[in-house]
């Protein structure tokens, strides 16, 4: 039997194909890295060490290499520019290719969302002069100017997370393997920008044993005294959605149910 090697007729490049007929453009990856610090939602930014936009804050990212996939490029840039080697969640959420978004050339970027429970020590590298964790509110209220169209990308990432809180288990990516209900509630409050009733929240996540499971342990006693908070772990129910949903009140305020 004859063994055929090389590209098949369906995958071979037509002899008449001329790639020079099409304008060249580059592909980059940019990563919006979110993490919680107490009750504050933060984003990881790098200060650009070279032009364009030298000295301005930006989300980590860079050019995709020809030999790597988009996911590989995102993981590499995450490590090279911030020293972060892993994320609880790393997923694509959008693509941006408006003309002029990069003054160097036509650039299409694929945006990723990363969620970290613990950022650890940040180490700026490659073309980043500095890496830091800043409150998301500083970006959304434009107290901090970002390079390129990165403010738009951060806004889109936050909108994506706000939706996913209701339909996925993304909330558990922000907390440790053992967490208090107050820590979990703080994730919803920070991302949705609301204040949730503690008793209602507890009923929502504890009523069904599939959401949170008691570990039998408690936090260490605090300096102010009082009974240490109970620690929970995530149950299997998070794989089918989230237990808390936004309900708009008259006047625009939200409550949980």
pLDDT profile of the chain (257 residues), mean per 10: 56 85 92 93 92 94 95 88 72 95 95 86 65 94 95 98 94 94 97 95 86 93 78 93 75 50
pLDDT, position 252 = 46
Which of the listed CATH numbers 3.40.30.10, 3.90.79.10, 3.20.20.110, 3.30.465.10 matches domain 23-149? Answer: 3.90.79.10
pLDDT, position 248 = 58
Active site amino acids: 130
pTM value?
Answer: 0.86
CATH topology of domain 169-256: Arc Repressor Mutant, subunit A (1.10.10)
Residue 62, strand partner residues: 29
pLDDT, position 19 = 82
Contact 255, 200 (CB under 8 A): yes
How many other β-carbons are positioned within 10 Å of the β-carbon of residue 244? 21
Joined together, the tokens standing for residue 238 give 């998070």
Euclidean distance between CA atoms 48 and 128, whole angstroms: 5
Contact 178, 172 (CB under 8 A): no
Tell me the domain boundaries of the chain.
23-149, 169-256
Euclidean distance between CA atoms 4 and 250, whole angstroms: 69
pLDDT, position 86 = 60
């Amino acid at each position: 039997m004859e063994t055929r090697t090389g590209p098949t007729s369906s995958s071979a490049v037509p002899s008449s194909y001329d790639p020079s007929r099409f304008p060249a453009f580059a592909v980059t990856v940019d990563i919006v890295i979110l993490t919680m610090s107490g009750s504050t939602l933060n984003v990881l930014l790098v200060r650009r060490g070279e032009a364009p936009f030298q000295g301005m804050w930006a989300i980590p990212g860079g050019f995709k290499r020809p030999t790597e996939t988009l996911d590989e490029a995102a993981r590499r840039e995450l490590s090279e520019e911030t020293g972060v080697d892993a994320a609880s969640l790393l997923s694509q959420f959008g693509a941006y290719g408006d003309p002029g978004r990069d003054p160097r050339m036509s650039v299409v970027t694929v945006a990723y969302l990363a969620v970290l429970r613990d950022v650890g020590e940040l180490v700026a590298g490659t073309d980043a002069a500095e890496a830091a964790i800043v409150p998301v509110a500083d970006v959304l209220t434009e107290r901090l100017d970002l390079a390129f169209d990165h403010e738009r990308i951060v806004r889109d990432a936050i909108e994506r997370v706000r939706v996913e809180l209701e339909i996925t288990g993304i909330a558990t990516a922000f907390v440790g393997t053992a967490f208090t209900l107050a820590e979990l509630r703080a994730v919803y409050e920070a991302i949705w920008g609301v204040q949730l009733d503690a008793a209602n929240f507890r009923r929502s996540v504890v009523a069904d044993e599939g959401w949170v499971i008691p570990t039998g342990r408690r936090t260490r006693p605090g300096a102010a005294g009082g009974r240490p908070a109970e620690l929970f772990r995530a149950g299997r129910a998070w794989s089918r959605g989230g237990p808390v949903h936004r309900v708009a009140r008259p006047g625009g305020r939200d409550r949980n149910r």
